[in-house]
Chains A and B, each alone.
Chain A
Amino acid sequence: MSPPRRIHDIAHARAGDKGNTSNISVWAYDPSDYPLLKRQLTAARVKRAFPGLFTGKVTRYEVDHLHGLNFVLLDALEGGVNTSLNLDSHGKSFSYLILGLPIEE
């Protein structure tokens, strides 16, 4: 049995920060995978997957014609770039938290 596929197999992502708010955009490589991506990555799942980090509200914006989702995560940066003690105080690597989630098939 092959290992479960991950979001990383079908999508790419980039994270940005403003204050203590993170945003992570996630894009399907292949438009045919976009419906799957949209079903897999709900705002609720993203928040549920990392409750210790994503402590605030999670909002998902959809850019259907470009096959992308944009997650806005309040209070997700451990205080923000000038406060966090995380080595990655921008939370740049959080894009790969989402890409590491398994595709539940």
Chain B
Amino acid sequence: MTETIRIGCGAGFSSDRLGPAVDLAQRGALEYLVFECIGERTMAFGHRDRMLDATRGYNPQLGARMRAVLAHCRANGTRIITNMGVANPRAAAALTVSIARELGLNGLKVACVEGDDVGALVGPDTAFMDHPGAVKDVGLRMVGANVYLGIEALLPALEAGADVVVAGRIADPSLFLAPLAHRFGWAADDWTALGRGTLAGHLMECGMQITGGYFADPGFKDVPRLADCGFPIAEVGFDGGFVITKLDDTGGCVTPATVKEQLLYEVHDPASYLTPDVTADFSRVAVEPIGPDRVRVTGASGRARPEMLKVTVGFDGGFLGESGISYAGPNAQARAELAADVVRQRLTRRNGFGGDLRVDLIGLNSLHATARAAGARSDDIRLRVAVRSAQRDDVDFMLWEVESLLCCGPAGGGGYRGQVTPCVVTHSTLIARDLVKPTFEMFVA
């Protein structure tokens, strides 16, 4: 069998670009277009948004994306699979249906996949896999728990003819593996094929991270036309071997180096990449350039899937406050360091301040401040103060203190900004596979 399936990635994270996705929908000649939009951070945002407004909690760009691609996809026979439902797949599916109707796409079939919400199965004594203790030890209110679903959750919707599948927490590679298993009829225990398809999904799931995005390092790793980078396409064969490429006339590049960086992105043991579908083995993968922006990837394999599934448990984490003020010119570093000292003193003296505090000198040492001492001195520095607390007052007080430096701090400080963000903290646990019951419901526009 020589048939190949063309799958595109229209988003590799929640805030990914829209234009390149429309480009793929228009002229990608795709059978499937996948939008992968959940990470640990954005899953937490989904819960936060749903907490604030029960009709929200899905990807904020869902509407814009669907409005831009639905008509093209229908015209070209491209089916859409996405996890943009995040913490509220039902609301996301309803919005998709209403947009389809607005666009006159009558009869479009939108499947809503649920079952990832396992809040009812997580109790006070549920122990974490990545953190000491159990749910009851966190001391915060649980706001949601989502299990990573695999292709079993998506296949019934594809078999029922969905044009668009909207889900929540699906394991990222499974969004791509599901259409392959569906079309090629791979058995649920064909570990080699599932391992190979999982590799295709893993390489595709971060969008431009394989077509030159997140790669450029001028003079060392140069990427042509980065501003116009295209999203990736996988051409997958029946045996699970595949080629990664992108559309002509887009920026970026697909090379063995871009493929290798993504190969181990968020992978621990390359021989044991666990998903709900398979224990994939990427340790003997070969990458071979076979043309301009075309890399053939072979050699993945797999073993039996894990019996336990990973669950992300979210808790109401109170508030994150971040604020800053800048110092530049002669002696800027000494002035910024004095400002940092003033803020620390005043926060420490306040009775009952219970939050975590971090003070950075951006331009001198910030991202790496906990790893190493600062290098050269700097004459353009931004003081950054960050606080996390369950008490909104703590966070507001910190912002006020930093803003007060405008008149009360060292000389020449300017450019105060501050923001407070409600936040959700997350931990992971495991749950037995047989407790998880994914379902789907079809809606027709």
Asked if B265 lies at the interface with its beta carbon under 8 angstroms from chain A, I say yes
Q: What's the nearest-Cβ distance from chain A to residue B47, in Å?
A: 10
Asked if A52 lies at the interface with its beta carbon under 8 angstroms from chain B, I say yes
Q: Could you tell me which residues of chain A, from 23 to 54, have a CB within 8 Å of some CB in chain B? A: 23, 25, 27, 29, 50, 52-54
Closest to A11 in B: B220
Contact A18 B264 (CB under 8 A): no
CA distance in complex: A97, B369 (Å): 11
Q: Which residues of the other chain, A, contact B371 by a CB distance below 8 angstroms?
A: 50, 52-54, 94, 97
A66-B285 contact given A14-B261, A85-B358, CB 8 Å threshold = yes
A16-B257 contact given A50-B371, A65-B284, A87-B367, CB 8 Å threshold = no
Choice from A25, A50, A82, A88 contacting B40 with Cβ under 8 Å: A82
Choice from B269, B285, B357, B367 contacting A86 with Cβ under 8 Å: B367
Question: How many inter-chain residue pairs (CB < 8 Å) link A and B?
Answer: 119
Closest to A76 in B: B371
CA distance in complex: A59, B220 (Å): 27
Q: What's the nearest-Cβ distance from chain A to residue B272, in Å?
A: 10
Q: Which residues of the other chain, B, contact A85 by a CB distance below 8 angstroms?
A: 320, 356-358, 386-388
Q: What's the nearest-Cβ distance from chain A to residue B130, in Å?
A: 4
Choice from A12, A13, A78 contacting B370 with Cβ under 8 Å: A78
Contact A72 B268 (CB under 8 A): yes
Asked if A102 lies at the interface with its beta carbon under 8 angstroms from chain B, I say no
A23-B130 contact given A80-B40, A82-B423, A82-B426, CB 8 Å threshold = no
Q: Which residues of the other chain, A, contact B367 by a CB distance below 8 angstroms?
A: 86-88, 93
Q: What's the nearest-Cβ distance from chain A to residue B229, in Å?
A: 16
Contact A19 B370 (CB under 8 A): no
Q: Which residues of the other chain, A, contact B384 by a CB distance below 8 angstroms?
A: 87
Choice from B131, B265, B317 contacting A14 with Cβ under 8 Å: B265
Q: Which residues of the other chain, A, contact B358 by a CB distance below 8 angstroms?
A: 85-86
Choice from B265, B283, B284, B286 contacting A16 with Cβ under 8 Å: B265
Identify the interface centre among A27, A50, A63, A65: most chain B CB within 10 Å of its CB: A63
Asked if B70 lies at the interface with its beta carbon under 8 angstroms from chain A, I say no
Q: Could you tell me which residues of chain B, from 231 to 279, have a CB within 8 Å of some CB in chain A? A: 257, 260-270
Give per-residue flags for B345-373: 1 if the beta carbon is below 8 A from chain A beta carbons, else 0: 00000000000111010100011101110
Total interface residues in chain A, CB < 8 Å:
40
CA distance in complex: A36, B269 (Å): 22
Asked if B98 lies at the interface with its beta carbon under 8 angstroms from chain A, I say no
Contact B266 A18 (CB under 8 A): yes
Contact A81 B267 (CB under 8 A): no
Contact B372 A61 (CB under 8 A): no
Contact A12 B220 (CB under 8 A): yes
Give per-residue flags for A57-87: 1 if the beta carbon is below 8 A from chain B beta carbons, else 0: 0010101011010101000001011110111
CA distance in complex: A52, B365 (Å): 14
Give per-residue flags for B365-402: 1 if the beta carbon is below 8 A from chain A beta carbons, else 0: 01110111000000000001011100000000000000
CA distance in complex: A85, B395 (Å): 13
Choice from A20, A52, A89 contacting B130 with Cβ under 8 Å: A20
CA distance in complex: A29, B256 (Å): 11
CA distance in complex: A17, B130 (Å): 13
Give B residues with C-beta under 8 Å from A: 39-41, 44, 130-131, 209, 214, 217, 220-221, 257, 260-270, 283-287, 317, 320, 356-358, 360, 362, 366-368, 370-372, 384, 386-388, 423-428
Given contacts A29-B257, A61-B269, A72-B269, 14 further A-B contacts (CB under 8 A): A12-B220, A19-B130, A23-B264, A25-B261, A25-B267, A54-B371, A80-B40, A81-B40, A82-B317, A85-B320, A85-B357, A85-B387, A97-B368, A97-B371
What are 21 A-B interface contacts by the 8 Å CB criterion?
A8-B220, A16-B266, A18-B268, A20-B130, A21-B268, A23-B266, A23-B268, A25-B260, A27-B261, A53-B371, A54-B371, A61-B270, A66-B287, A68-B264, A70-B267, A70-B270, A82-B40, A82-B425, A85-B320, A87-B384, A90-B41
List the 6 closest pairs (A to B, CB-CB), nearest first: A16-B266, A85-B358, A25-B264, A53-B371, A14-B261, A50-B371
